[in-house]
Amino acid sequence: MRGTPFGPILALLALAGLVAGAGCGRKGGNDQASGQQEVTFWHFWRQEWITPLITEFERRNPDIHVVDEQLTWQAGQEKIQAAIAAGQAPDLCELGSTWLPRFAASGALMDVTPIADSLRGEIGHWEPAMQGGRVYGLPWVVGTRALFWNRALFRAAGLDTTRAPATWEELLQAATRLSARPGVKGFGLNAGERYVLFKKFMPFAWGNGGEILTPDGQRAAFDSPANAAALAFYVQLAKQSLIEKQDVIDRAFMDSQVGMMISGAWNLRVFAEQAPGLEFDVALIPRPAPKRGRHASFAGGEYLVVFARSQAVDAATRLARYLIGRDAAVALCRAARSVQPAAMGAEDDPYYRSQPKDRLFVEQLATAVAPPPHPRWGEMEEALDHEIEGALYGRKTPAAAVRDAGSAIDALLAEDRR
C-alpha cells in the first residue's frame, strides 16, 4: 500500500467515530514532578488476579507507576484497534496468539527480538509471535485443550474407569456406550460460535498427520487424506454427541449429561467451585490408533506486546519481563487456573507437582500444535469453521469440506501475495 495525504483526515475520522467506544487511554511517559515513569497496561485478567502482581512490580520498581485496565474478551480487540487508530494505544498490551500476527504485520507492534534473544533459555513458545524472522511479542502464558471424562458415568455405562479412551476407536466406542444411557450424550462437540470449532477439530487432524498450510506457509495443505479421514471420524463422533456451544457443553458436562468433552483448563477452577462432587478426570486427546499418530491438541497463548508508538518503552519492557518471569506467571496461572506459564520448567514448580490435573495440561502442551502465525489467520479460521460445520450438518462430505476449505485458504493466500 502506498501512503497518501488521507492520513490526517482518517485520523480525524478515527477520533470522531471510533474512539467513542474506546474510553480515554492515557499515554505513558515521564511525570515531571515525581520523576516517576507511567506505563499503561491493558490485559484480560480479573483484577483480583493481576493486581497483586502489579503491586509487587511497583514495590520492586518504585520509579514506575502502572496504570492497568481490564479488557473484555467480547470487545477487547475492537477497543485495541480503535485505540491504535486514534493514536491512544497503551504501552504494554496482552494479545492472544491468533490475533498477534495481524497486529505484527501491520507494523503496530515494536520489534522485541533483542529482548527475545536474551530470554530464549528461560521462556518457550516463541513461534506464534514471529513474523519474517523477527519477534513481536513476549510469551506470557499458554493454554491447550484436553479430554475431560466423567468417571461416574463411565462406571454406570460399564466402561473401564481406570483410564480414559486413548484412541479414536476407544473414544467412539465409549461415546456410543455412554449415549445409550437415558439423558446422556457420550461426547460434547462444538458448533455455532466463533473461535472455537477448529480448536476442537484440529487435534484430530493434526494427530492424524494433517496440516493447515505447507511448511513454508505459502500454500494450503488442508486438502489431504489425513484431514479428510479426521473429519470423517469427527462426523461419526458427532452422531453420539451433544452438538452445542462451549458454555452449554461445559454446563452439561458439569450436570453429568455429557460423558466426555474436549475443553480447557479453566474448567478445573469452574468445576471445583460449582460442582465439587463431580467425579471427573482429564487425559490426553486420543490419537488415531495405538501406535499411529500423535496425541495432538490446540496450542494458544497470551503474549505481551509493546506498541510501536509507546513513549515508555523502557518501563513497558521491564513490566513485561517481570510478568512473563516464572514466579509471576506461575502465580497468575495458579489464580486463574486456565493456562500454564510460558516460562520453561514451570511444570517442576511444587504447585504443578501437587496438581495432577493441572499437570496433565502441561503434558498435553508438549504435543499441542499452534495454528499458522499468518496475518490473515482470522479469515482462514473462519473458512475452516465454515467447512467443518458444513460437514457436521451433513451439507457436504468430509472430502468435499476439506477440499473447499483448502481452496478458500489458497484464495486468501493468493490475495495476500498481491
Partner 1 sequence: MKARSAFAFLTPFLAVFTLFSLLPLALSILLSFLDWSPLNPEQAGWVGFGHYARALHEPRFWGALRNTFFFVAGTIPLTTTLALGLALLVRLPLKLRTLFRAGFFVPSVVSMVVISLIWKHLYAPFGGMNALLGWLGIPPQRWLLDPELALPAVMAMDVWASVGYYMVLYLAGLETIPAELYEAASLDGAGFWARLRHITWPALKPMTLFILVVNTMRSFQIFVEVFVMTGGGPMHATETVVLYLYDAAFHQFRMGYASAVAYLLFAILAVFSLLELKWLRSEQRTLA
- Chain residues that interact with partner 1, rule: CB under 8 A: 1-4, 6-7, 9-14, 16-18, 77-78, 81-82, 84-85, 87, 102-103, 106-108, 191-194, 242-245, 248, 252, 378-379, 386, 389-390, 393, 395
Closer CB to partner 1, residue 29 or residue 87?
87
Distance CA 377, CA 372 (A): 7
**Radius of gyration for the chain, computed over Cα atoms and rounded to the nearest angstrom:** 23
Cell numbers at 132, concatenated:
519474517
Q: What is the DSSP letter of 120?
A: T
Question: Would you say 20 or 272 has its CB closer to partner 1?
Answer: 20
Cα distance between the two ends of the chain: 11
Q: How far is the CB of 88 from partner 1 (least distance, A)?
A: 11
CB of 274 to partner 1, least distance (A): 16
* Cβ neighbours for 310, distance < 8 A, ≥ 6 positions apart: 28, 89, 90, 91, 92, 110, 316
> Parallel, antiparallel, or unpaired for β 64-70 and 37-43?
parallel
Residue 139, beta-bridge partner list = 303
Following DSSP, what letter does each residue of 242-272 receive, concatenated?
A: EEE-HHHHHHHHHTTSEEEEEEETHHHHHHH
| Shortest reach from residue 379's CB to partner 1, in Å | 6
Residue 326 or 386: the one with the smaller Cβ distance to partner 1 is: 386
Closer residue to partner 1 (CB): 251 or 334: 251
If the CB atoms of residues 46 and 395 are measured against partner 1, the closer one turns out to be 395
CB of 252 to partner 1, least distance (A): 8
Q: Closer to partner 1 by CB, 102 or 145: give it.
A: 102
Beta pairing class for 130-131 and 64-70: unpaired
Closer residue to partner 1 in complex, CB, 17/225: 17
Q: What is the residue-wise DSSP string for 19-80?
A: GGGT--PPPPEE-TTT--EEEEEEE-S-HHHHHHHHHHHHHH-TTEEEEEEEPPTTTHHHHH
* Residue burial 201-212, b: 16+ Cβ < 10 Å; e: rest: bbbbbbbbbbbb
Q: Taking the complex as a whole, how short is the minimal distance between the CB of residue 4 and partner 1, in angstroms?
A: 5
Q: If DSSP codes are grouped into helix, strand and coil, which group holds residue 87?
A: coil
CB of residue 15 to partner 1, shortest distance in Å: 10
- The residue assigned the cell 492520513 is 7
One-letter amino acid identity for 181?
R
| Comparison of 175 and 368: residue with beta carbon closer to partner 1 | 175
Question: What is the DSSP-derived secondary structure letter of residue 284?
Answer: P
* Separation in Å, CA 78 to CA 85, 291, 408: 11, 45, 25
Distance CA 127, CA 121 (A): 14
Query: Between residues 11 and 180, which has the closer beta carbon with respect to partner 1?
Result: 11
CB-wise, 78 or 169, nearer to partner 1?
78
Closer to partner 1 by CB, 11 or 289: give it: 11
- Closest to 143 (Cα-Cα) out of 133, 163, 128, 131: 128
Closest contact distance (angstroms) between CB of 192 and partner 1 is 4
Look at residue 102 and give its three-state secondary structure.
helix
The least CB distance from residue 239 to partner 1, in Å, is 14
* Residues 365, 143: Cα–Cα separation, whole Å: 7
Distances (CA, A) of 10 to 13, 15, 61, 86, 87: 5, 8, 39, 9, 12
Residue 80 CB, nearest approach to partner 1 (Å): 9
- Work out how close the CB of 190 gets to partner 1 at its nearest, in angstroms, rounded to a whole number: 10
Shortest distance, position 91 Cβ to partner 1, whole Å: 17
